[in-house]
Structure 1
Amino acid sequence: MTDDSSDRIVAAVRRWLADAPPGARLPSTRQLVAEHAASPVTVQKALRALAVAGAIESRPGVGNFVRESRAVRSTDHGWQTAALGAPRAVLPRIAGALRAAPEDAQALHSGYPEPGLLPARLVRTALTRATRGGAATTRPPAAGLWELRAWFAAEIAGVTPADHPAPTGNDVIITPGSQSALTSAFRALVPPGHPLLVESPTYWGAILAAHQAGVHLVPVASDAEGPVPDQLDRALRETGARAIYVQPTYANPTGAQWSARRSIDVLELARHHGAFLVEDDWAHDFAIDTEPRPLAALDPTGHVVYVRSLTKSTSPSLRVGAIAARGPVLDRLLADRAAESLYTSAVLQQAALEVVTDPGWRSHRRRLRTQLRERRDLLARSIRDHAPSLTVDHLPAGGLHLWARLPDGTDLDRLVRACEDRGVWVASGDEWFPTEPAAPFLRLNFTGPDPASFPTAAASIQAAVESL
């Protein structure tokens, strides 16, 4: 019997429950088997699903019964206000990119690729192997599995100049995704209340992590090549900041990739001022027209703290990332990670290692490059042809998003709601600015489901703009 058979039994029992009084006894398993021509296993699966949903309760040895309804009473939690006191940090609201859109909506707001762009077979096979091996029952080292740490290090070493020291696995800590790595980096590098320089706009998750760490964000203007050196130099001098958060490769949200000259200039400024650069290489696996150029590969003196994640490129459920650094800061980072989560799941680490060392991983990334280019170009063309109110100044050479400017004065909250009313979910660009937004923008994901509907979605956004 298939899952469909179980679903049909669940639906049939729910119809019976609609007319049954609380406490009524359900037909026996034998009766349900005969009535629905199903196997006992299928019937038991359906009954478990109903019990989990709270529709029935099972009494072993007695039978299954309609669950008694419980009176809903409001509870006074007022005492908690005084007990909690003032929050340690006022956190921004959860970004719109994490909202779940209806199944029939055109989802352009997400920060993740749709499942069809992920190596699903590799991930499932790797998870199966990992759960059958020693990783399922052993505690990994606090810094992570050595083989996975060495893989992350080798990726950077592969593009490190011959006259620079190449990183090793000893320079890497495995983390449960990049978000926790960013929080640890900010806590380790910046005392509470002290400044952290960031590009503007910048990744909303980094803004959230900075608030969580209690540090003060100072925006620095950027252009298509990266942070403007003169302004970065002035900000470092005026604030005394000792850490800068950057995304040199396919920045989220703009998609910008730093030029080689700009990378060198920013590294020189960091060295001159004795500052760390927290490099978030989030889109390393989403190259389209160029190749990733990690700053960490150009840094022989330990100024770069490098953060890399496999979550977006493998599976949202495979939350595995890494943070690489040299010198005393590495010990401080490891201490922070251990204090927060002790270690990262060995099963997830082993599965991630299986995926990235499988020959199919390279084949997948080659296919993905072509798929990303086709989707990026289709969405950009759809905006140009069907949403003339939007302006995309920069076609990203990698990443997942287009950064589209709206007419000055656009009410973004109203526009987002108007788009949703038309079945199109978009992300408000305001969430990517650490302070007041410079202009109204939308961040649009070109790796969501149903790319054939991009022209229709663009026309709907244009209609929403015109309706304001």
Structure 2
Amino acid sequence: MSQDSTERIVTALREWIARAAPGARLPSNRELTLQHGASPVTVQKAMRRLSALGLIETRPGVGTFARAMRTARPADYSWQTAALGALPSRMPLLSSTQRSAAPDAIALHSGYPAPELLPERLVRQALARAARLEAAVLRSPAAGSPELQAWFAGELAAAAPVGVTPASARDALIISGSQSGLSSIFRAVVGVGQPLLIESPTYWGAILAAAQAGVELVPVPAGPDGPDPDAVERAFAETGARGFYAQPTFANPTGAMWSETTRTAVLEIVRQHGAFLIEDDWAHDLAIDADPRPIALQDDDGHVIYLRSLTKSVSPALRVAAVIARGPARERILADRAAESMYVSGLLQAAALDVVTQPAWRTHLRGLREQLRARRDLLLDALHEHAPTASVETVPRGGLNLWVRLPEGGDAEQVVRECAVRGVILAPGSEWFPAEPSGAFVRLNYSGAAPERFPEAARVLGDVLSGS
């Protein structure tokens, strides 16, 4: 009964406070006792409840008063529109690849492999060992751990042909993921307002980094064997560009791999124009049917700025990558990185180095190759059977993705929306074009979770394309 009386008094006083002016004095406890026919203990409990709700305040020796109450209203951020100005027309928003999916959805949109494809045991053990090192509490050098620099440079040097001076440890700069490296290269080497040749289609993150750096993109069409060297030559001649950003090995999103003829010709064109080839070797560890052969292996005069990341092969949580550059370009990139983030966590660098220097690392990569092949072929077969009007023009020899062309006249954005309603999450291809899309495409990641659901996903896509 006492609890019921307390609730009754609290309800009555809340209604009174809502009508009263802010700062109005409440009746005394004696008055409330008589008014509600309750005991002094019950009234005191009610007052404590109201105080805990922030509705009243007690001033010793004076009385109890209603607090000023703010009426709840929607937040108004309209002032920020004027403060920020218009969004730059080329500035992309959050990529579809970064959006979350419902737990029961079939997620083919992500750019990362499923956890079971990562060397989880090696990573956990490496982090535990790294936590016991001085790197866990000391500042790392701006250019990175000398041991990790030497490992990245050594990976290139070991495969360098006879007659080419290989990269040295000093040429390597450790960065927190290749995305940050792209931003620094575009700012430090290309420059605001300057033209940069770029494959089309290409990695959406490079388009984003270029937009943020204020670089002017010059699209160069790229096919299964890479761009036409004549088109690259014309673009350099017409624009006077300082650089060409490209993914010659297992390109994202198409999976294309440049032919040896294209590699040799483009490097020679870059040299003739006194420019840089910014080679993004993002999928170096994700080979399936061909081994990576970076163009940087042919360069000993500083025309190739090379990026390699461990994010997708070791762990997205480590975010460790390297830029290999020579001469003044290296110093400018280092200065930009130091200004941006000062240095990369020594703990993460130590853990990454631990993983890639374990004998089990090479064993893991051999197993990963077979798993990626199986998943790629499973998704290809499922599309062929259940979505025959969707075509894959290039079967990737490495990487994580299928680049799928939709039927002529298809609307990729609409297809993506309709598939999402049916529980299949795809990435629309428009994000990978630095200018207007050349057709309707979607990108499908075959390294994600639940490959056994690929046939189900392909049936949904086939039904959407057929209007079922």
Please classify the TM superposition score into its range, dividing by the shorter chain length: 0.7 to 0.9
1:413, CA displacement in angstroms? 1.6
Residue number in structure 2 paired with 1:363? 363
Cα distance, 1:463–1:142 mapped onto 2, change above 3 Å? same
What's the CA shift string for 1:419-465, capped at 9, x where partnerless?
11111111111110100000101111111111111111101101011
Alignment of 1:261 with 2:261, yes or no, is: yes
What's the CA shift string for 1:223-270, capped at 9, x where partnerless?
211110111110110111111000010000010111111100000000
Cα distance, 1:386–1:162 mapped onto 2, change above 3 Å? same
1:68, CA displacement in angstroms? 7.9
Checking the alignment, whether the CA contact within 8 Å between 1:114 and 1:449 is kept in structure 2 is yes
Distance in 1 of aligned mates of 2:91 and 2:176: 21
What's the CA shift string for 1:57-108, capped at 9, x where partnerless?
xxxxxxxxx9989975434444434443456785212211111111111111
Amino acid at match of 1:444: L
Checking the alignment, whether the CA contact within 8 Å between 2:406 and 2:412 is kept in structure 1 is no
Equivalences for 1:196-211 in 2 at 5 Å?
A: 196-211=196-211
- Higher mean C-alpha displacement, 275-284 vs 67-76: 67-76
What's the CA shift string for 1:343-366, capped at 9, x where partnerless?
011111111111111111111001
The SS at the match of 2:316 is: coil
Residue number in structure 2 paired with 1:324? 324
Equivalences for 1:133-212 in 2 at 5 Å?
A: 133-212=133-212
Distance in 2 of aligned mates of 1:68 and 1:325: 61
Checking the alignment, whether the CA contact within 8 Å between 2:222 and 2:228 is kept in structure 1 is yes
The SS at the match of 2:410 is: coil
Residue number in structure 2 paired with 1:419? 419
Amino acid at match of 1:311: T
1:467, CA displacement in angstroms? 2.1
Cα distance, 1:460–1:88 mapped onto 2, change above 3 Å? closer
Residue number in structure 2 paired with 1:247? 247
What's the CA shift string for 1:139-173, capped at 9, x where partnerless?
00000000000000000111111200011110010
Cα distance, 1:236–1:104 mapped onto 2, change above 3 Å? same
1:203, CA displacement in angstroms? 0.4
Equivalences for 1:328-367 in 2 at 5 Å?
A: 328-367=328-367
The SS at the match of 1:173 is: strand
**Structure label with greater radius of gyration:** 2
Q: Number of residue pairs matched?
A: 407
What's the CA shift string for 1:89-135, capped at 9, x where partnerless?
85212211111111111111110000010000111111111122211
Cα distance, 1:133–1:81 mapped onto 2, change above 3 Å? same
Checking the alignment, whether the CA contact within 8 Å between 1:89 and 1:211 is kept in structure 2 is no
Residue number in structure 1 paired with 2:451? 451
The SS at the match of 2:418 is: helix
Residue number in structure 1 paired with 2:429? 429
- Higher mean C-alpha displacement, 110-119 vs 76-85: 76-85
Distance in 1 of aligned mates of 2:360 and 2:443: 31
Where in structure 1 are there 5+ consecutive unaligned residues? 1-19, 24-65
Equivalences for 1:34-45 in 2 at 5 Å?
A: none
Amino acid at match of 1:424: V
Amino acid at match of 2:451: P
TM-score for both structures, normalised by structure 2:
0.84
Amino acid at match of 2:457: A
Cα distance, 1:368–1:425 mapped onto 2, change above 3 Å? same
- Higher mean C-alpha displacement, 80-89 vs 176-185: 80-89
Amino acid at match of 1:432: W
Distance in 2 of aligned mates of 1:245 and 1:150: 25
Residue number in structure 2 paired with 1:44? none
Amino acid at match of 2:184: S
Distance in 1 of aligned mates of 2:94 and 2:243: 25
Amino acid at match of 1:94: L
Distance in 2 of aligned mates of 1:72 and 1:403: 49
Distance in 2 of aligned mates of 1:413 and 1:88: 22
Cα distance, 1:437–1:139 mapped onto 2, change above 3 Å? same
Residue number in structure 2 paired with 1:298? 298
Residue number in structure 1 paired with 2:48? none
Amino acid at match of 1:251: A
Cα distance, 1:135–1:71 mapped onto 2, change above 3 Å? farther
1:292, CA displacement in angstroms? 0.4
The SS at the match of 2:313 is: helix
- Computed over aligned residues only, the root mean square deviation of the Cα atoms, in angstroms, reads 2.1
TM-score for both structures, normalised by structure 1:
0.84
Distance in 2 of aligned mates of 1:77 and 1:100: 25
